[in-house]
Structure 1
């Protein structure tokens, strides 16, 4: 199936949804030390970086997505887990396709 052009509204929704997911990371092994070396407990939430490829094909990690990126660039965003990649933006786009088709979602 040919990929259709990503509308401005769809791109904005994809960026918002990815931000929700990317901000849900937690590492229980991080130790938190406060002022004066006071231990404040274990575990910390963090924003997982999303990786894109620039025009030259180089990997670029970001902690937020620039709304000025092209739709195709946005759809190429992925989370890198060592040698593995989770193509989060393409996955979210497929979820939106499903919701539009099965539940008549209007974006």
Structure 2
């Protein structure tokens, strides 16, 4: 186990991504949130093929806080069914894992 957990989700706007990311870092559920470049998603919703711009966010937290982070993202998210995915981390730099743990513990 690496000591770091990654959680990925998508938002419908940069403003929503920034608002939620800032709140989760302030709440100490995430040590860091990387708001990535806007991309295009293609998916079926309610029987209709959709295409929309979305903003991906990658949150870094500890394994012990991962589930709480995912639950809080779901509470704050404006999508009916947000994609909230925990990504496996096989290994992390020890000094970075320590920093993540310190940020969450503050």
Does the pair score TM above 0.5? Answer: no
Question: Higher strand share goes to which structure?
Answer: 2
Highest Rg: 1 or 2? 1
Higher relative contact order (CA 8 A, sep 6+): 2
The TM-score normalised by the length of structure 2 is 0.30
The TM-score normalised by the length of structure 1 is 0.30
